[in-house]
Amino acid sequence: MRWLPLLLLLVAGAATADDVYDVLRRGDSGYAEVVPGKTLVFPADHLAHPTYRIEWWYLTANLTDERGQNWGLHWTLFRQALHADGKTEGWTSNQVWMAHAALTTPAGHRYEERFARGGIGQAGVALEEGRFSAWLDDWQLQGDSAEILPGSLHFSVDGTTVQLELDMQTPWVLQGDRGYSRKSAQGQASYYYSQPHIRVRGFIIEPAGEEITVSGDGWLDREWSSQPLADNQPGWDWFSLHLQDGSALMVYRLRHENKRDGERPNEGQHNHWLSGTWITADGHSRALSADEIELTALEYHRVERANDSALELPLRWSLALPAMGDGYRWTIEAMDPHHWLATAFPYWEGPVVAEGSNPGIGYLELTGYQ
């Protein structure tokens, strides 16, 4: 996997990036800034914002097949600008695209990543014949109209083709303060909105030709920024849960590196940046402040990475929202620990089960672990 650091250089646009996530920490230098008070407008804001450094369209889904087996998927399109100035169209475009797709099957975990330069049509997010389209090569998230949802998702991983219909139940959820999502006390922020209630139906076609009908719940995140991470934030732990009663919960913590002696890396929530949103079944949302969230890593698992090295990752958690009542307490555990993605930006992402009086399923994403 010698090419990994090479691609990183490209994607990160820096010759000396020890930590690939540095791109998320780079200070604004001519890029558009994320400021509070901006009103997000749809469907216009579903499209790309090339003047910001980075942006993503991020879909996760927990699915079951007709035999009741669990499936999971995540599909992401990342956009990055290599320079603040310059063109976005044509051969001299400063835009670079990266896409990840991962599939959790009853048998295991498969993933792929792809890259493309911007400006030539190989990848992009645009209206095509009036329909929203986010694509890289033949991977495509396509809306039925200028809206993303309802729409469809098509991709293939390792010869397995996924073809899904996506339907939206409730309005878009603006995260943070009407879509302005703060990431640190120093002012790092992003524009962030989600759709937590997506009904997913479709087919997964195995390489041998077997067609499996699947259905379940999906979650779409949209986020763009020019500097979402502060210098002392190595990464984040992000949870999205679909609960039994139809409500949904998103919680993330941006880990701070100023840990005390004797602590495990990334442990001790007192100084981490915590944030979340509670969304009711009918789509009403309430932002959760840091003091409303209790998030603790309960158990670490050894997870194999690509190059025969392993990493200890927190894959069992306890999460509570004490201010909301006694029933708001869960133990969250990864369905399968082996969901490391040895991609240019390496991270862990996979389906989780939440146990509690209002149980659920969802996705966990762990980034920035070295």
Partner 1 sequence: MVSKRLGWTLHTLLSHYRHHPLQTLFLLTGLITGVALWVAVQVINTHARSSYQQATQLLGAQASHWIRPAGDGGIELEQYIELRRAGFRQLFPVLEQQLTTSDRQPLNLIATDLLALPMDSVGAFNVTANWSELMQPPFQAWYPQSLAETLDLQPGEQLALASGIRLPAAVIQTQAQQGQRVFMDIGAAMTVLGRTRFSYLAVGGLTPVEQAALSSILPAQLQLVANQQSLDLSELTQSLHSNLTAMSLLSFAVGLFIVFNAVRFSLNARSTTLATLQELGVSVRLLSVAIAVETMILSIIGAAAGVTLGYLLGMQLLPAVANSMQNLYGAVIDHHLLLQPLTILKAWGMTLAGLLFALGWPLWQRSQRALASQRSISDDWLQDGKARRMLALGALVLLALALLLYPNMDSVAEGFALLALLLFAAAWLLPVLLAAALAALQSLIPERAWRWRWALNDGWTQLPVLRTALMALLLALTANFGVDTLVGSFRSALENWLDQRIAADIYVNSEKLKVDAVLQSPLIIDHHQRNGVDLRWGLRPAQVYGLDTRAPDSLQLPLAMHNNALAAWYRNEAGVVLANEQVHHMTGIDPGDKITLTTAAGPRKFTVAGFFYDYGNPFYRFYLPYDIVATLWPDAGNRGLALWLERSAQAGGADISSSTSTAIEQKLLQAGAQPGEWVYRDDILQVSIEIFDRTFAITAAMGTLTLMVAGIALLASLLAIHQRRLPEYAHWRAIGVRRREWLLIILLPLAVCVLLTWLLSLPLGTLLAWLLIHDLNVLSFGWTMPMLVQPWPAVRLALLTAVVVATTLIITLLQVRYRLPATLKQLGGDG
Residues near partner 1, by CB under 8 A: 1-3, 6-7, 9-10, 13-15, 82-83, 86, 91-94, 96, 113-117, 119-122, 135, 137-138, 156
Locate all alpha helices (DSSP H) within 201-273, ordered by sequence.
Answer: none
In whole angstroms, how close is the CB of 47 to partner 1 at the nearest point? 18
> In angstroms, what is the minimal distance from the CB of 7 to partner 1?
7
CB of 79 to partner 1, least distance (A): 13
Of the pair 117, 305, the CB lying nearest partner 1 is at 117
Q: For the CB of residue 343, give the shortest distance to partner 1 in the complex, in Å.
A: 10
User: Of the two residues 98 and 354, which places its CB atom closer to partner 1 in the complex?
Assistant: 98
CB of 140 vs partner 1, minimal distance in Å: 8
Closer residue to partner 1, CB minimum distance, 3 or 263: 3
CB 175 within 8 Å of CB 288: no
Give burial (CB, 10 Å; 0-12/13-18/19+) of 101. buried
- Please give the Cα distance from 65 to 51 (Å, whole number): 41
Contact 200, 63 (CB under 8 A): yes
Please report how close the Cβ of residue 209 comes to partner 1 at its closest, in angstroms.
Answer: 12
**Least gap, CB of 94 to partner 1 (angstroms):** 6
Please state the φ and ψ torsions of residue 347, each to the nearest 5 degrees: -165, 170
**Residues in the chain, how many?**
370
Q: Which of 98, 142, 138 is nearest to 117 (CA)?
A: 98
Smaller CB distance to partner 1: residue 95 or 285?
95
Q: Of the two residues 137 and 165, which places its CB atom closer to partner 1 in the complex?
A: 137
Indicate the SS3 state at residue 24.
helix
Query: In which region does residue 238 sit, left (phi positive, over 0), alpha (psi from -120 to 50) or beta (all else)?
Result: beta
Residue number with CB closer to partner 1 (123 or 149): 123
Closest C-alpha to 172, from 149, 190, 153: 149
Specify the amino acid at residue 163.
Q
Nearer to partner 1, 13 or 234 (CB): 13
Number of H helices, E strands in the chain: 2, 23
